[in-house]
């Protein structure tokens, strides 16, 4: 029994020592990037099952700047942070806003995108007033586990919040007349209003950003222990802002009207 305990203790020490050494020596030659692949124009999958979108181009650009090899992993939005923590990939580029709530779990790089937030509704909506009092008793749709969901739940207590697994499902329900409003990123909504929602719906108003809930903007998420990786990516982001390559990609992918 004594021997067994000693063996376990020795084994634990060896493992701890080995991981300690590994963490120190870790030099980033390869980065695995997690994304959702269902949030155009940030990131989506095309018919050939290839990733495309602003974040895909931008992520690859950052990797070029950092001179590292990058691979992409497509993970559903539900579980996108647990998968980061389970070491399935090293950073998330998935249109994720750096919020206080998420900062409890992960660390964020510098912000690389900041989109306006809109509320849209059926064309028949008469008033452009979106104050909580005006929307009392109305149903507001948003994608679950997002800043928009938190926003609705915090400020619109007298309205019915309907939360969906993806933005697409919220859009469908607005189209079907089950929702009075949707709140989401202007980009995602502009896309919808140009296509499917052309005949049914319109932009009602822009939502005023609340920094506590909406966070600083869209940024890459990394594990809290990977401070070196975080700084490396933030540095590369600053470079792309300075040399205009970030602006070029934004112009390519983001079209509001």
Partner 1 sequence: MFDKIALLGFGPGGWGLALLQGAANTISVALATLPFGLALGLVIALWKRSDKVVLRAAATIYTTVFRGVPELLTLYIIYFGIQVLLQKVWTGFSIPPFVAGMVALGLVLAAFSSEVWVGALNSIQRGQREAASALGLSKAQAFRLVVFPQLIRVALPGLGNNWMVLLKETSLISVITLQDIMFIATRANVVTKEPFLFFGSAMLLYFFFSLVSAWGIGKLEQRTHRGYAAFGGATR
CB-nearer residue toward partner 1: 78 or 100 = 78
Part of the chain binding partner 1 (CB under 8 A), chosen from 45-53, 90-98, 114-122, 152-160:
45-53
Q: Of these, 1, 5, 22, 25, which contacts partner 1 (CB under 8 A)?
A: 22
132 scored as a contact of partner 1 (CB under 8 A): no
Tell me the residue ranges of DSSP E strands in 68-177: 69-74, 91-92, 107-113, 117-122, 139-143, 160-164
73 scored as a contact of partner 1 (CB under 8 A): yes
Part of the chain binding partner 1 (CB under 8 A), chosen from 18-26, 54-62, 230-238, 245-253:
18-26
Instruction: Please name the residue that has the structure tokens 């202007």.
Output: 186
Binding mask 163-192 vs partner 1 (x if CB under 8 A, - otherwise)? ---x-x---x--------------------
46 scored as a contact of partner 1 (CB under 8 A): yes
Which residues between 137 and 156 bind partner 1 (CB under 8 A)?
A: none
Q: What is the 3-state secondary structure (H, E, C) of 195-256?
A: CCCCCCEEEEEEECCCHHHHCCCEEEEECCCCHHHHHHHHHHHHHHHHHCHHHHHHHHHCCC
Q: Of these, 103, 196, 202, 256, which contacts partner 1 (CB under 8 A)?
A: 196
CB-nearer residue toward partner 1: 67 or 176 = 176
Give the 3-state secondary structure of residue 109: strand
Q: For 233, phi and psi rounded to 5 degrees? A: -70, -45
User: Number of C-alpha atoms within 13 angstroms, CB side, residue 32?
Assistant: 13
Q: Minimal distance in Å, beta carbon 219 to partner 1?
A: 22
Q: Which of 60, 53, 52, 42 is nearest to 96 (CA)?
A: 42
2 scored as a contact of partner 1 (CB under 8 A): no
CB-nearer residue toward partner 1: 59 or 215 = 59
Give the 3-state secondary structure of residue 86: coil
Q: Minimal distance in Å, beta carbon 183 to partner 1?
A: 19
Residues 6+ apart with CB under 8 A from 45: 37, 38, 51, 52, 74
Q: Which residues bind partner 1 (CB under 8 A)?
A: 12, 15, 18-19, 22, 37-40, 44-49, 73-76, 78-79, 82-83, 85-88, 166, 168, 172, 195-196
């Amino acid at each position: 029994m004594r021997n067994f305990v000693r063996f376990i203790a020795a084994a634990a020490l060896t493992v701890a020592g080995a991981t300690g050494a590994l963490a120190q020596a870790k030099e980033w030659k390869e980065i695995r990037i997690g994304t959702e692949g269902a949030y155009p124009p940030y990131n989506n999958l095309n018919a050939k099952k290839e990733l495309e979108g602003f974040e895909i181009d931008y992520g690859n650009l950052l990797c070029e700047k950092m001179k590292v090899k990058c691979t992409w992993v497509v993970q559903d939005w539900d579980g996108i942070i647990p998968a980061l923590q389970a070491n399935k990939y090293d950073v998330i580029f998935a249109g994720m806003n750096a919020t206080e709530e998420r900062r409890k779990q992960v660390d964020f790089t510098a912000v690389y995108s900041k989109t306006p937030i809109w509320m849209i509704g059926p064309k028949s909506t008469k008033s452009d007033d979106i104050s909580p009092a005006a929307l009392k008793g109305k149903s507001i749709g948003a994608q679950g586990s997002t800043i928009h969901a938190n926003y609705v739940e915090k400020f619109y207590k007298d309205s019915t919040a309907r939360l969906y697994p993806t933005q697409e499902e919220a859009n469908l329900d607005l189209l079907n007349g089950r929702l009075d409003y949707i709140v989401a990123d202007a980009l995602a909504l502009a896309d919808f209003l140009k296509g499917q929602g052309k005949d049914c719906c319109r932009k009602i108003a822009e939502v005023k950003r609340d920094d506590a809930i909406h966070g600083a903007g869209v940024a890459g998420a990394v594990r809290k222990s990977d401070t070196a990786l975080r700084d490396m990516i933030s540095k590369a982001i600053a470079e792309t802002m300075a040399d205009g390559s970030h602006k070029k990609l934004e112009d390519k992918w983001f079209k509001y009207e």
